[in-house]
Amino acid sequence: MTATPSFYHQSAPPGLSGIKAWLLTHDHKRLGLMYLGAVFFWFVLAMILGLALRTELMSQGRTIMGPGMYNSMFTLHGVIMVFLFAIPAIPAIFGNFFLPIQLGTDDVFFPRLNLFSWYLFMFGGLFAIVALFVGDGFPDTGWTFYVPFSIQNSKNVGLTVTAAFILGMSSMLTGLNFVTTFHRMRDKRMGLMQIPLFTWSLYATAWVQILATPVIGITLVLVVLERFLSIGLFDPAKGGDPILYQHLFWMYSHPAVYIMILPGMGVISEIIPVFSRKSIFGYKAIVWSSMGIAIAGSLVWAHHMYTSGMSDVSVFVFSLLTFLVAIPSAVKVFSWVATMYKGSIEMTPPLLLALMFIYLFSVGGLTGLVLGAVGTDIHVHDTHFVVAHFHFVMFGGTGFAFFAALHYWWPKMFGIMYPFRAAYVGAVLTTVGFLFHYVPMLIVGLQGMPRRYYDYLPQYEIGNFLAGLGAYVMCAGIVIMFVNLFMSFRKGVPAPADPWGGTTLEWKVSSPPPVHNFIDKPQIMDFPYDFKGVGEQLQPKDR
């Protein structure tokens, strides 16, 4: 450890102490940790909800809850996981913490706006909690809030939709902050092709956040207006068209899928080269594929609506565009695998999780093609196949990238190392449970079991039972991972500045970093993934 005090010991702005140093902070690192706390709470809550749902489905008929409760619960699970975990997790936590450091600067461009975004995030969460306990309880519409059900529904749709609106604002302002930081705060000597890939992926994400989020904003406003004023914009009896709601909704919510996955891909692009001790394969291809995904991903929304009623021409066009998005994603997978080829691989928990990400994400991507093709989609539309597909991408992808990021940057954020063995056990259990959980869903989905149903026919019982069993194994794995990380505080094994042999700028500062990140002007390398000077790094006692 160096003699300089870390950001835990110095507040920004200076002169604040105690809880104020956190609640009024402008420091991007503290804000990242504050997001971590909030997101962690939501993740655990939604995970417990998911577990309850799968327990209910383990046997036919009523198991632990009634149908109404079930409907509200899957809505709550979806709303939390989408708006309060998957969208903010990586950009708001790790993005906030590491984007300025990777760019060689001391903070984001608008530090106060950053704090404001955090408060918006907390308020959005608060609204969601209030919606649980007042009036007729939490909505049972599913996280998509499809009309006309969301408008005629007597439950707290208005409040929940407002929560989503506020959370959207928070995410958009974070994106705005990142784009400005990227352009204006970057170290003057760092050219565009010298920027670490995690930051590049956050930049692509930020654009999607800025350009897509307002669309969901206005859509949710319309839902609220319809509920209070009954204008009839989506009501066929009054000249409206419910399909237009779906278009507006997915115009945001499909790009939102890329808001969730792009930062995850950025994390993986950092981890793979570091533990392969080899320069990333196809740096430029990864940068361009990030931007390609951001652009192409904004043009595919109607593939959620093949069965809603659209002209054959639109269906054809959207199907084609959907297949196009697969190309940049595959470019990345190819680059990661090619990076490892003939690398000097050093196994660590973050690398193991990254490898699992690649595998699970690939399955998610390939099942996505099944859904992108019109013919097969009509067969499996609204079945458990879809549920399994997007969990492979959003959980197997974003979730595992989140775990990997947590294990990769934990020493930097808290300045301590964690034991590896429990992390390995947790990661393996999570993956095995994951496969047991979602593969049966793919199968019962293909056999025709619809999603969001409370009950099912006898032939689906085995699949659902196995899925439930898998859920328990998976959750056990996640708990082991988290407990292991928390236990690392008790031992407090100090982490060196660069425990992994990373080459990007965050590894050039002490762990945890000082309040202004850099004491001396950082040295900018010609290429961020140059491992010439990096040898065997891990001390045997760390393992």
Partner 1 sequence: MRAEIDRVGIKIGMWLFLYSEIILFGGLFVLYAAYFHKHPESFAVGGKELDRVIGALNTVVLLISSFTVAASITAIQKGSRKLTIGLLGFSIFCGFIFLVNKYFEWGAKIHHDIYPNSETLVNGEPGLNIFFGLYYVITGLHGLHVIIGMVLLSISLVWVLVGKIDGSKISMLDNSGLYWHLVDLIWIFVFPLFYLVL
62 binds partner 1 (CB under 8 A): no
**Residue with tokens 């839902």, as numbered in its chain:** 223
Residue among 237 and 313 whose Cβ is closer to partner 1: 237
DSSP string for 447-506? HTPBTT-S---GGGHHHHHHHHHHHHHHHHHHHHHHHHHHHHHHH--BPPS-SS---SGG
Selected binder of partner 1 within 66, 67, 232, 492 (CB under 8 A): 232
Beta bridge partners of 450: 383
Q: Which of 38, 39, 176, 485 binds partner 1 (CB under 8 A)?
A: 176
Q: Does 225 bind partner 1 (CB under 8 A)?
A: yes
Maximal CA-CA distance, the chain: 72
- Tokens, residue 510: 């002490």
Alpha-carbon gap, residue 300 to 320, rounded angstroms:
9
Stretch that binds partner 1, among 1-9, 50-58, 132-140, 229-237 (CB under 8 A): 229-237
Specify the 3-state DSSP secondary structure of 527. coil
Stretch of 81-89, 205-213, 253-261, 381-389 lying at the interface with partner 1 (CB under 8 A)? 205-213
310 near partner 1 (CB under 8 A): no
Nearer to partner 1, 48 or 221 (CB): 221
Distance in Å, CB of 538 to partner 1, minimum: 36
Based on the shown chain and the rule CB under 8 A, indicate whether residue 282 belongs to the binding site for partner 1. Answer: no
Whole-angstrom Cα distance, residue 57 to residue 477? 21
Contact (Cβ atoms closer than 8 angstroms) between residue 108 and residue 177: yes
**Minimum distance from residue 181 beta carbon to partner 1 (Å):** 8
Q: Which of 39, 52, 248, 406 binds partner 1 (CB under 8 A)?
A: 248
Binding range to partner 1, per CB under 8 A, among 224-232, 322-330, 412-420, 479-487? 224-232
Q: Does 183 bind partner 1 (CB under 8 A)?
A: yes
Is residue 305 within 8 A of residue 247, CB to CB? The reply is: yes
**What separation, in Å, do the N-terminal and C-terminal C-alpha atoms of the chain show?**
20
Nearer to partner 1, 199 or 219 (CB): 219
Does 247 contact partner 1 by CB under 8 A? yes
| Total site size for partner 1, rule CB under 8 A | 39
Residue 74 host element (H or E): helix 67-79
Phi and psi at 500, nearest 5°, equal -100, -15
Of 91-99, 195-203, 238-246, 497-505, which part binds partner 1 (CB under 8 A)? 238-246
Task: Write down the least CB distance from residue 183 to partner 1, Å.
Answer: 6
The verdict on 58 binding partner 1 (CB under 8 A) reads no
Chosen residue from 24, 41, 148, 241 binding partner 1 by CB under 8 A:
241
Q: What does the alpha-carbon distance between residue 539 and residue 127 come to, in Å, rounded to a whole number? A: 47
Which of 34, 5, 105 minimizes the C-alpha distance to 512? 5
Instruction: Rule CB under 8 A: choose which of 193, 231, 457, 519 binds partner 1.
Output: 231
> How far from the centroid of its chain's Cα atoms is residue 385's Cα?
21
| C-alpha to C-alpha distance for 305 and 108, rounded to whole angstroms | 39
189 makes contact with partner 1 (CB under 8 A): no
**Residues that bind partner 1 in the complex, under the rule CB under 8 A:** 106, 109-110, 113, 172, 176-177, 179-180, 183-185, 210-215, 217-219, 221-222, 225, 229-233, 237-241, 244, 247-248, 251, 516
